[in-house]
Amino acid sequence: MNLAEKIKHLREVEGELRGINRPMTQMEVVKAMQEELGESISQAYLSQLESAKRLHLTASSRDLLARFFKVHPGYLVSDPANYSTDLLSEMGQGSDRLETWLIANAAEWRSEPDLYELLQRLSEEPEPRRFISAFRTLMDLSIEELEAVIEALTMPEETPESL
């Protein structure tokens, strides 16, 4: 992923995190940066970075963007050609890649307890793919239908003594 794509992605994520359900505009980023950090870059500079007219950040701009988006400054560089986030080593070929992915991603989502616990518990399951398949099927239900199913399954059974 190049720097331009990373910045666009970060604006999308930040918009979701802030509850606006859309990517933040460049101007919104500039204004929020000024309000929250007391300093900012210009919208024109941000636009040049996102359009790849500028391929590199100054050190101070990289630091400012990293603080605003809460990422490591090293993230704000273009990845080398043929860069892959997959482990290409022969080590661990006997282990399940899905389990490894679940464990690694659970750790990245500690700030979201529900997602963290879901990924962690999936990584501990002997057959996580069966759960994922079942979850995919449940996604066809409306949230109201799903909540009704959960309520019906978790409601204590009525016994003659409880009547």
Start-to-end CA distance of the chain, whole Å, equals: 62
Query: Sorting pLDDT into bands at 50, 70 and 90, what band is 90?
Result: very low
Name every residue whose Cβ is closer than 8 Å to that of residue 45 and which is 6 or more positions away in sequence. Answer: 54, 61
pLDDT, tens digit, 9 for 90 and up, residues 132-144: 998 898 889 999 9
Share of the chain above pLDDT 70, in %: 87
Fold of 3-75: 434 Repressor (Amino-terminal Domain) (1.10.260)
List C-alpha distances in Å: 71 to 58, 67, 83, 149. Answer: 16, 7, 19, 39
**How many DSSP H helices and E strands does the chain contain?**
8, 0
**Cβ-contact 61, 41 below 8 angstroms:** yes
Give the model's pLDDT for residue 77: 83
What would the mean pLDDT of 8-26 be, rounded to a whole number?
90
What would the mean pLDDT of 41-51 be, rounded to a whole number?
93
Amino acid letter at 4? A
**What token pair was written down for 78?**
């273009």
**Cβ-contact 76, 3 below 8 angstroms:** yes
Where do the CATH 1.10.260.40 domains begin and end in the chain? 3-75
* Full-model pTM: 0.52
**Cβ-contact 50, 4 below 8 angstroms:** yes
Work out the number of other CB atoms within 10 angstroms of the CB of residue 73.
14
